[in-house]
């Protein structure tokens, strides 16, 4: 472990994935602090003493006014300047599920015009009209600059959301996101591994099967699936089958996402 690499997880107000996320980062070698949003607002300088900032999954403020909206507004109104300085220092941010909804509302991804806190994408209600809790197959865009998905080609992960359909402000935004290779993950057919609109492989109807997006630096990453929920090979619903056919891994593939972040912070931010 390199104790100099620190990760901060913002908690509170209905967020509920702090323990899994902390475990993932600890396994990757980071020193982890969990801090309630109110405490961070009282001491915003804590943002500048960390290299990895995590917006985690859950149901912040009950998803009232739209998933992530209230939490994002509190961040913007109380921590906007500190967050901008944190980003300008080249630090890392990951937003998972509700965390993705929050950083999308903040305009941190895709952030086509830099840090202007102007949202250009949103996470809308699933086409199915219901909350989905299932596993999906994801294909990684190798041309993406994303730090977190280095050396991953495909990855199975669970999803747990009712508002996960990525929509863009307009077609021009979508075109630029794709032109700049900011689409990091696509929901894929588990056989062909091609992006799909077909339900249930695409669980929410997300346009072009988009499941995760980064900014142009690759240091800010938002995704709807939960890598922190696949830290052990035994988390996978087919682990018995994998054990019988000899494909069971020592760790869950979700751990790679966090290891990539800690490795990058070790090599570049210290």
Q: Quote the domain boundaries for residue 41.
A: 6-268
Q: What is the CATH number of the domain that holds 45?
A: 3.40.50.880
Round the CA-based radius of gyration of the chain to a whole number and report it.
Answer: 17
Instruction: Give percent above pLDDT 70 in the chain.
Output: 99
* pLDDT for 83 beyond 90: yes
* pLDDT for 148 beyond 90: yes
**Mean of pLDDT values over 226-247:** 95
| 20 in a structural domain | yes
- pLDDT tens for 209-227 read 999 999 999 999 999 999 9
| 235 in a structural domain | yes
Per DSSP, the chain holds a count of helices (H) and strands (E) of: 7, 11
| 109 in a structural domain | yes
| 166 in a structural domain | yes
* pLDDT for 2 beyond 60: no
Question: Is residue 7 within 8 Å of residue 50, measured between CB atoms?
Answer: yes
Burial of residue 113 (number of CB atoms within 10 Å: 0-12, 13-18, 19+): exposed
**Mean pLDDT computed over every residue of the chain:** 96
CB-based contacts of 101: which residues, under 8 Å, 6+ apart?
66, 67, 68, 72, 95, 123, 163
Dist. CA 57–CA 39, nearest whole Å:
19
Whole-structure pTM value: 0.96
Dist. CA 208–CA 15, nearest whole Å:
28
Which residues sit opposite 155 in a β-bridge? 138
* pLDDT for 67 beyond 60: yes
Structure tokens, 40: 């961070």
| 1 in a structural domain | no
| 156 in a structural domain | yes
Residues marked active site are found at 97, 226, 228
**Mean of pLDDT values over 186-212:** 97
Neighbour order of strands in the sheet with 31-36: 31-36, 6-11, 52-55, 92-96, 220-223, 210-214, 183-188, 132-140, 154-161
* pLDDT for 1 beyond 70: no
CB-based contacts of 209: which residues, under 8 Å, 6+ apart?
186, 187, 188, 195, 196, 197, 202
* pLDDT for 3 beyond 80: no
Question: Is residue 23 within 8 Å of residue 229, measured between CB atoms?
Answer: no
* Letter string b/e over residues 193-231, b meaning 16 or more CB atoms within 10 A of that residue's CB: eebbeeeebbbbbbebbbbbbbbbebbbbbbbbbbbbbb
Query: Given CA atoms 72, 162, 254, 112 in this order, what sign does their dihedral have?
Result: negative
Most distant CA pair in the chain, distance:
53
Q: What angle (nearest 5°) sits at the alpha carbon of residue 134, between those of residues 133 and 138?
A: 125
Dist. CA 76–CA 250, nearest whole Å:
40
| Number of domains forming the structure of the chain | 1
Q: Of 259, 159, 143, 242, whose CA–CA distance to 206 is shortest?
A: 159
Structure tokens, 48: 């500048």
């Amino acid at each position: 472990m390199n104790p100099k690499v620190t990760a901060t997880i913002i908690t509170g107000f209905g967020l509920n994935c702090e323990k899994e996320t902390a475990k993932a980062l600890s396994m990757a070698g980071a020193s982890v602090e969990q801090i309630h949003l109110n405490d961070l607002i009282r001491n915003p300088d804590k943002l500048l003493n960390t290299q990895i900032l995590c917006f985690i999954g859950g149901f912040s403020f009950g998803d009232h006014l739209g998933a992530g909206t209230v939490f994002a507004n509190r961040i913007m109104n109380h921590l906007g300047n500190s967050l901008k300085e944190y980003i300008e220092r080249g630090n890392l941010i990951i937003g998972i599920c509700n965390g993705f909804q929050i950083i999308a509302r903040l305009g941190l991804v895709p952030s086509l015009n830099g840090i202007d806190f102007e949202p250009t994408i949103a996470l809308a209600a699933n086409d199915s009209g219901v909350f989905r809790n299932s596993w999906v197959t994801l294909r990684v865009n190798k041309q993406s600059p994303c730090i977190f998905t280095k050396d991953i080609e495909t990855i199975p992960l669970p999803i747990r959301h009712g508002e996960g359909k990525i929509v863009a402000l307009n077609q021009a935004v979508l075109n630029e996101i794709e032109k700049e290779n900011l689409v990091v993950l696509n929901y894929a057919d588990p056989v062909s591994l091609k992006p799909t609109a077909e339900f249930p492989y695409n669980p929410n109807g997300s346009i072009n099967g988009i499941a995760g997006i980064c900014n142009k630096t690759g240091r800010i990453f938002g995704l709807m699936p939960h890598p922190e929920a696949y830290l052990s090979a035994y988390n996978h619903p087919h682990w018995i089958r994998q054990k019988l056919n000899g494909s069971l891994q020592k760790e869950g593939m979700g751990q790679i996402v966090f290891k990539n972040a800690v490795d990058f912070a070790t090599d570049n931010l210290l």
